[in-house]
Amino acid sequence: MMMSITAGTPYMATIQAKHTNGHKYCYIVESGHVNGKPKPIVLSSSGQSQRSI
């Protein structure tokens, strides 16, 4: 199976927060396409967040 990730034109990255096991994690995410379908692509992870942004 072949996967291709394309961004085409530049997108604005967003900061998304996720809660896992009672901890908050922040991610910098950009939209992209994988196998022709839209998918969030994580650019960076801040690790466990100590406080709200």
Confidence of residue 10 (pLDDT cuts 50, 70, 90): low
pTM flag (> 0.85): no
SS (H, E, C) 1-42: CCCCEECCCCCCCEEEEEEECCEEEEEEEEEEEECCEEEEEE
Residue 35 backbone class (left: φ over 0; alpha: ψ -120 to 50; beta: rest)? left
What is the domain partition of the chain in residue ranges? 5-48
Confidence of residue 44 (pLDDT cuts 50, 70, 90): confident
